[in-house]
Amino acid sequence: MPVRKAVVIGAGIGGLTTAIGLRQAGVDVTVYERRTEPGRLLTGGGFMLWHNVFVALRRLGLDDAVDKVSARIDFHEFRSDRGRRLARWAIAPESRRIGAPAVALRRSSLNQLLLQEAGDAVVLGARFTGFEQDADGVTVHFADGSRERADVLVGADGIRSSVRSSLRHGHDMAPRYAGYTAWQAIADLPGEDVVPSGTFFNLWGRGGLRFLYCRLSESEVYWDAITSDRASAAFDMYRKDKRAVLCETYRDWPEPVRRVLAATRDEAILPIDICDRPPARDPAWGHGRVVLVGDAAHPMTLNLSQGAGQAIEDGVVLSGLLSGPPAGEAGAGSGVPAAIAAYEQVRRRRVDAMVRGAYRIGELGKLRGSLACQARDAFMWAFFGTFAKKGTYRLMMNFDY
């Protein structure tokens, strides 16, 4: 195999998936994470994982375990802020056809499962500071003065990746801010009559507002309030807390939006400014023996619910190529640059399409005026239940791994 020893920077979804794939192939791998407490790795709200992610997880034997900590999604329903149904996707038949579910789950549940699978490969409290590479390997440096030699360095340390910065010698174009913020939380809200299980609700409003929600369990509801900059510029964050501001902003929206917000603790609400990297401005994901995965390589907006999924696909594809037959002939490690080049060749076109598609959908959510929003809603009513669904599934299931 090209790799005997690997170093992964970042114990997020992409880094852990890559490490698990390599360990299962017999590679000696260590994941270095700068956070010092295990509990700080088990944070965040919820998200969706679509069918393609379970096909990838099946390669690692993790699909059943993830399914057990998730809530199955049978329908994806699009509505206006006046309660009008714009489209309804039947997901359950697609799950049966593909042989893999679509689910919603806590981010912490997935992180915990991956951490358990990675086991003692994870080292906490280690801050990456740089690397040098040569024909035989890469030397990784840490803030405490220690270093480690490996065949490959995988940067999985997020959108502000230190590995990416070091790979580009400290000069890189900043991520593109999409112009809106996602306020994410999980509410304690029992009651099937309030939020029924099995449906992911996607509400589109006027004034640059959206709201997403779905039930995670008998007692928990995951939600995202998405506010454009022009909407959030009016928020009085000096005199009011996050929950009060959002309750006021969505006060005229149909139920259960107001009940979901009222049931959420203010400290549970996490605002995230949404960014991506346009493919036209995004250079190669790797060079020599150093490679990026997940948000370190290709952050995308949340509108296709594929950010975590594409990080998992990265990990599966990259670990398979790095632990497969060597591409070179000079001995252990000689095939690493070729494997990294093959990884980007396999993944680039698919991920670029995801980034572009997610960004375009997000632009629809920034519309403010009544006429523009009415035209958008009419477009969604006419096309989202048919052409948009077919196009999304064509993109989602168009993989080669």
- Given a contact cutoff of 8 angstroms between Cβ atoms, the answer to whether 211 and 253 are in contact is yes
- Count other Cβ atoms within 10 Å, centred on residue 97: 11
Average of per-residue pLDDT across 93-102:
98
Residues near 187 by Cβ (< 8 Å), separated by ≥ 6?
Answer: 220, 221, 222, 223, 260, 261, 263, 264, 268
Is residue 73's pLDDT more than 50? Answer: yes
Is residue 332's pLDDT more than 70? Answer: no
Average of per-residue pLDDT across 238-260:
97
Average of per-residue pLDDT across 182-201:
97
Return d(Cα 213, Cα 48) in angstroms, integer. Answer: 11
Q: Is 159 exposed, middle or buried (0-12, 13-18, 19+ CB in 10 A)?
A: middle
Q: What pLDDT, in 10s, does the model give residues 264-305?
A: 999 999 999 999 999 988 789 999 999 999 999 999 999 999
* DSSP H or E segment with residue 285: none
Answer with the residue of higher pLDDT: 89 or 328. 89
Return d(Cα 292, Cα 314) in angstroms, integer. Answer: 9
Is residue 141's pLDDT more than 60? Answer: yes
Q: What is the pTM of this model?
A: 0.95
Q: What pLDDT, in 10s, does the model give residues 16-70?
A: 999 999 999 999 999 999 998 877 777 788 999 999 999 999 999 999 999 999 9
pLDDT at 331: 44
Is residue 329's pLDDT more than 60? Answer: no
> For 5-175+276-396, CATH number?
3.50.50.60
Provide the percentage of residues in the chain whose pLDDT is more than 90.
Answer: 92
**DSSP code for 385:** I
What sign has the CA pseudo-torsion 116, 121, 127, 131?
A: negative
pLDDT at 226: 98
Residues near 329 by Cβ (< 8 Å), separated by ≥ 6?
Answer: none
Amino acid sitting at position 208: G
Return d(Cα 228, Cα 231) in angstroms, integer. Answer: 5
Calculate the CA dihedral of residues 333, 31, 311, 52 and round it to 10 degrees: 90
- Given a contact cutoff of 8 angstroms between Cβ atoms, the answer to whether 301 and 385 are in contact is no
Is residue 110's pLDDT more than 70? Answer: yes
Note the Cα 13 to chain centre separation in Å. 8
Beta strands in 18-126 (DSSP E): 28-33, 46-49, 71-72, 75-80, 85-90, 103-106, 122-124
pLDDT at 37: 84
- Given a contact cutoff of 8 angstroms between Cβ atoms, the answer to whether 226 and 365 are in contact is yes
Is residue 333's pLDDT more than 70? Answer: no
pLDDT at 327: 53
